[in-house]
């Protein structure tokens, strides 16, 4: 237990599509940063394949996971998409901007990348919210104390 572990957040899968290469990455370091315009920020490790794709992309999608979707968080959060299609056995549809939306997600938010900031071994990508969809009234999967919290 430590102090920084007490910063709890929702667990999401950030999705992207660069020149028809799709990928998704589990992200817990996500936050709202502005009301008007409506902005959110995601923090992505510089060694991730997603970092390479997001650097070249115009948009990203955010699939907010439900409290019983730990398996999806692990699928997108334990392997790199560099040589593997994480969507192979996942039900998804494409948004109008061709970003993957994971079926059965709790919510979906689509963003235009308007800025990025160097942040140590991560980069903060700031997204302007273009679309929001709430699919269900369930609770989100949470990350806290450095781990996924099931069923809270």
Ligand X SMILES: Cc1cc2nc3c(=O)[nH]c(=O)nc-3n(C[C@H](O)[C@H](O)[C@H](O)COP(=O)(O)O)c2cc1C
Is residue 68 near ligand X by the rule CB under 6 A? no
125, 118 contact by CB (below 8 A): no
Q: Which of 26, 57, 95, 105 binds ligand X (CB under 6 A)?
A: 26
CA nearest to 28, candidates 59, 74, 96? 74
Binding-residue total with ligand X (CB under 6 A): 22
Provide, rounded to whole angstroms, the least separation between the CB of residue 142 and ligand X: 10
CA separation for the pair 148, 46 (Å, rounded): 22
Q: 93 in helix, strand or coil?
A: strand
Residue closer to ligand X by CB (options 12, 101) is 12
Residue written as token pair 């099931």 = 150
How many other C-beta atoms can be found within 10 angstroms of the C-beta atom of residue 144? Answer: 15
**Closest separation in Å from C-beta 12 to ligand X:** 9
Which window, 31-39, 57-65, 72-80, 99-107, contacts ligand X (CB under 6 A)? 72-80
Q: Which of the stretches 27-35, 89-97, 107-115, 125-133 binds ligand X when contact is defined by CB under 6 A?
A: 27-35
- Contact between 23 and ligand X by CB under 6 A: the answer reads yes
Does residue 140 contact residue 134 with C-beta atoms inside 8 Å?
no
Binding ligand X (rule: CB under 6 A), the pick from 32, 56, 58, 79 is: 79
**Cα 53 from Cα 35, distance rounded (Å):** 27
> Which residues here bind ligand X, judged by CB under 6 A?
11, 23, 25-29, 43-45, 48-50, 73, 77-82, 143, 148
């Amino acid at each position: 237990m430590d102090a920084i572990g007490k910063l709890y957040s929702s667990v999401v899968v950030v999705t992207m599509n660069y020149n028809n290469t799709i990928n998704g990455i589990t992200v817990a370091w996500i936050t709202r940063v502005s009301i008007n315009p409506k902005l959110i920020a995601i923090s992505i490790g510089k060694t991730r394949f997603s970092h390479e794709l997001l650097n070249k992309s115009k948009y990203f999608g955010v699939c907010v996971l439900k409290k019983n979707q730990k398996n999806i968080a692990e699928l997108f959060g334990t392997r790199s998409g560099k040589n593997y299609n994480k969507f192979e056995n996942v039900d998804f549809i494409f948004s109008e901007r061709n970003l993957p939306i994971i079926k059965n997600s709790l919510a979906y938010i689509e963003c235009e990348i308007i800025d990025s900031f160097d942040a140590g071994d991560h980069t903060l990508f700031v997204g302007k919210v273009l679309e929001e969809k709430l699919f269900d009234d369930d609770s989100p999967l949470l990350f806290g104390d450095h781990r996924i919290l099931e069923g809270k």
